[in-house]
Amino acid sequence: MSTTGPTFAAETARHVLWHYGADGGYQPGSFTQKLMQAIDAADVVHKARLRGAYPELVDAMNLAANREDGIRQLQQGLGVTVAPLRCQCGDEDGPFTEDGQCEDCERRAAIGGAA
Ligand SMILES: [Zn+2]
């Protein structure tokens, strides 16, 4: 898999992973914690302002929050090995629900015919 996404400083990536509760995360100091909360809460205008001051942190958070594989990109950049997400049916392509089900299985469960 050739992902040529942006690379971030390991410290930034770990802080963002921590913020999103992902494996490989590392708790930052209270300022960075609050800063990440502010970035999360910011609207487009304020996020752009914050990005002027903290470009790497804002970009890493955007990646994690808005890209389906963003968290994994950050983890890969750190060399964090995470077991591939896989549905009970063996599907590894995703996207997956929070329960780790593929869309097909989720649809089947929603219909009520979970096999
Ligand atoms: Zn499935």
Helices 30-41 and 10-19 sit at what angle, rounded to 10 degrees?
Answer: 70
Q: Facing residues of 96 across strands?
A: 102
Q: What is the whole-number distance in angstroms between the Cα of residue 68 and the centre of ligand 1?
A: 17
Residue 83 tokens read as 């077991």
Per DSSP, the three-state class of 7 is: coil
Per DSSP, the three-state class of 110 is: helix
pTM of structure: 0.68
Q: What is the whole-number distance in angstroms between the Cα of residue 82 and the centre of ligand 1?
A: 19
Instruction: Name the residue ranges covered by the structural domains of the chain.
Output: 10-78, 84-115
3-state helix, strand, coil in the chain (%, to 5): 55, 0, 45
Q: What is the whole-number distance in angstroms between the Cα of residue 44 and the centre of ligand 1?
A: 36
Q: What is the whole-number distance in angstroms between the Cα of residue 84 and the centre of ligand 1?
A: 14
pLDDT in tens, the chain (115 residues): 444 556 789 999 999 999 999 989 999 999 999 999 999 999 999 999 999 999 999 999 999 999 988 998 999 888 887 766 788 888 887 777 877 788 888 888 888 755 5
Q: What are phi and psi of 102, to 5 degrees?
A: -75, 170
Q: What is the whole-number distance in angstroms between the Cα of residue 15 and the centre of ligand 1?
A: 32
